[in-house]
């Protein structure tokens, strides 16, 4: 297909893929998981999972996409026409669409907090208040920002509009251009905030908690949580990596790209840990639960308000969070857009609008599940929680399992090797090891995630 879009530069393709991988999973899921699974021990397991399982599975997705130069469903049809394997691709499109529906809401909150940090609304009424009362103040603000029926909906719609604006630009002028600017910005902010946090009194205690391994904390469920976190944070099982790799030129070195993306994602998780753990130890907030939303929307503002230049740090942090969320949201939206563009031969414009406009309804329902629709339950869960659980617990592991079994056993025999060696022009000593992992080890461990979820 000569009209197939491609990324314009190596930097751009890495930035876009890193932009997808580095999202709220790194910034708010990781510290929470690390805290409840024994800090450093979890970090170690997470690193092992990323290196030994994440990278091979990422390469399986890359090979499908770059080998076929097609969308998440088309890749399977390309290699196995007339077979049912495309269903794995269809499940990834479904997963990506459902995740996108609630991710827009969360991304909306990050923008809301950014606006409120800059405007000062977040810190209104905190002057002269005792430290013990701050938590109550910020919890009440979180209720106001997230659980009211109007504001979060407005921000969700705004996020959808921003996504449409970027995605109409296409791969090079939309996604790549955004990532080229946003990713360097993200790393600069992370570095600045690391320095600030590490200079706080008693920061060393937090670093020790985060980095000194305590092996007694490792057990079967820590391993499984680390694996789930590794897969989510590398954007596996969502069709994103298949879709993005279809925009990689034929001479892109897939192994090198996967290692770079994995390292960047690990680096962000470690830097976030080095910002959060020293800060909470330093202010004695380490007994508060770091559960996702509360960590970033309550605990962190509690810290910022005690620092000189509170609003500056707060704004910087929420820019970071917003950038992480935005680059991930465009990547996940691209999955379904590319699919209808390729399958139905729709124009970029029609495909983008057809996929994103329905979100104005679906995501609004998700946003309202914290307020007016909080009593609407699916299997006992709110709409938002149901979509989150159904995708992360069921669809994502199912797709990753399908990808491994397909690439390991049923795809054309040399697919992986040909893609890793760029059709024999590169040396790829590791490709046998990767194949072994994709065939045997990854499917077994992913099956364990499933079993664990249902026991």
The contact set with ligand PHE (CB under 6 A) reads 20-21, 23-26, 99, 103, 232-233, 235, 328-329, 331-332
The count of other CB atoms within 10 Å of the CB of residue 187 is 17
* Burial of residue 357, with CB atoms counted within 10 A of its CB: 0-12 exposed, 13-18 middle, 19 or more buried: exposed
Q: What's the closest the beta carbon of residue 186 comes to ligand PHE, in angstroms?
A: 12
Nearer to ligand PHE among residue 163 and residue 314 (C-beta): 163
| 199 CB-near residues (< 8 Å, 6+ apart) | none
Q: What's the closest the beta carbon of residue 266 comes to ligand PHE, in angstroms?
A: 12
C-alpha 73, offset from chain centre: 21
Residue showing tokens 């629709």: 373
Query: Which residues sit opposite 378 in a β-bridge?
Result: 381
* Cα→Cα distances 196→169, 274, 318, Å: 37, 10, 16
Q: What's the closest the beta carbon of residue 259 comes to ligand PHE, in angstroms?
A: 17
Rg (CA), the chain: 21
Q: What's the closest the beta carbon of residue 28 comes to ligand PHE, in angstroms?
A: 9
C-alpha 228/C-alpha 380 separation (Å) is 23
Nearer to ligand PHE among residue 25 and residue 65 (C-beta): 25
Q: What's the closest the beta carbon of residue 325 comes to ligand PHE, in angstroms?
A: 7
Q: What's the closest the beta carbon of residue 1 comes to ligand PHE, in angstroms?
A: 25
Q: What's the closest the beta carbon of residue 238 comes to ligand PHE, in angstroms?
A: 6
Nearer to ligand PHE among residue 20 and residue 257 (C-beta): 20
Nearer to ligand PHE among residue 218 and residue 394 (C-beta): 394
Q: Which CB contacts under 8 angstroms, 24+ apart, belong to 294-300?
A: 294/139, 294/142, 295/28, 295/31, 295/32, 296/27, 296/28, 296/113, 296/321, 297/109, 297/113, 297/138, 297/141, 297/142, 297/145, 297/146, 298/135, 298/138, 298/139, 298/142, 300/276
The answer to whether residues 113 and 145 touch, using CB atoms and an 8 Å cutoff, is yes
Nearer to ligand PHE among residue 244 and residue 277 (C-beta): 244
Nearer to ligand PHE among residue 35 and residue 331 (C-beta): 331
Nearer to ligand PHE among residue 104 and residue 279 (C-beta): 104
Nearer to ligand PHE among residue 112 and residue 302 (C-beta): 112
Q: What's the closest the beta carbon of residue 30 comes to ligand PHE, in angstroms?
A: 8
The DSSP letter of residue 426 is S
């Amino acid at each position: 297909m000569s009209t197939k879009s491609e990324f314009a530069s190596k930097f751009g393709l890495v930035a876009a893929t890193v932009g997808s991988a580095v999202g709220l999973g790194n910034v708010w899921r990781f510290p929470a998981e690390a805290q409840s699974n024994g800090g450093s021990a979890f970090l170690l397991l997470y690193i092992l999972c990323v290196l030994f399982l994440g990278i091979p599975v990422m390469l399986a997705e890359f090979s499908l996409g770059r080998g076929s130069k097609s969308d998440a469903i088309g890749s399977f049809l390309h290699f196995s026409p007339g077979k049912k394997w495309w269903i794995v691709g269809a499940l990834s499109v479904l997963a990506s669409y459902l995740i996108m529906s609630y991710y827009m809401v969360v991304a909306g909150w990050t923008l809301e907090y950014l606006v409120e940090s800059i405007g000062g609304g977040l810190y209104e009424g905190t002057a002269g208040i005792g430290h013990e009362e701050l938590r109550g103040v910020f919890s009440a603000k979180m209720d106001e920002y997230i659980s009211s029926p109007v504001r979060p909906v407005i921000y969700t719609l705004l996020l959808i509009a921003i996504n449409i604006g970027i995605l109409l630009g296409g791969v090079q002028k939309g996604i790549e251009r955004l990532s080229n600017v946003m990713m360097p910005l993200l790393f600069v902010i992370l570095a600045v905030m690391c320095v600030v946090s590490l200079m706080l009194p008693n920061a060393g205690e937090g670093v020790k908690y985060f980095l000194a391994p305590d092996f007694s904390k490792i057990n079967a469920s820590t391993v499984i949580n680390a694996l789930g976190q590794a897969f989510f944070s590398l954007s596996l099982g969502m069709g994103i990596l298949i879709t993005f790799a279809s925009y990689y030129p034929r001479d892109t070195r897939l192994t090198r790209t996967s290692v770079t993306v994995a390292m960047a994602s690990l680096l962000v998780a470690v830097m976030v840990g080095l910002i959060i753990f020293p800060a909470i130890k330093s202010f004695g907030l380490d007994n508060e639960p770091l559960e996702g939303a509360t960590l970033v929307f309550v605990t962190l503002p509690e810290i910022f308000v005690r620092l000189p230049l509170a609003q500056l740090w707060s704004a910087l942090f929420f820019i970071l969070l917003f950038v992480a969320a935005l680059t991930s949201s465009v990547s996940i939206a691209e999955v379904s857009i590319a699919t209808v563009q390729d399958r139905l031969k729709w124009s970029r414009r029609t495909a983008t609008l057809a996929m994103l406009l329905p979100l104005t309804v679906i995501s609004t329902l998700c946003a309202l599940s914290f307020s007016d629709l909080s009593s609407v339950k699916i299997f006992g869960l709110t709409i938002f929680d149901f979509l989150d659980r159904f995708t992360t617990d069921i669809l994502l592991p199912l797709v990753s399992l399908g990808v491994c079994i397909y690439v390991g056993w049923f795809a054309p025999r040399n697919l992986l090797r040909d893609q890793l060696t760029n059709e024999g022009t590169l040396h790829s000593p590791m490709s046998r090891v990767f194949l072994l992992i994709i065939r045997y080890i990854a499917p077994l461990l992913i099956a364990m995630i499933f079993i664990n979820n249902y026991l």
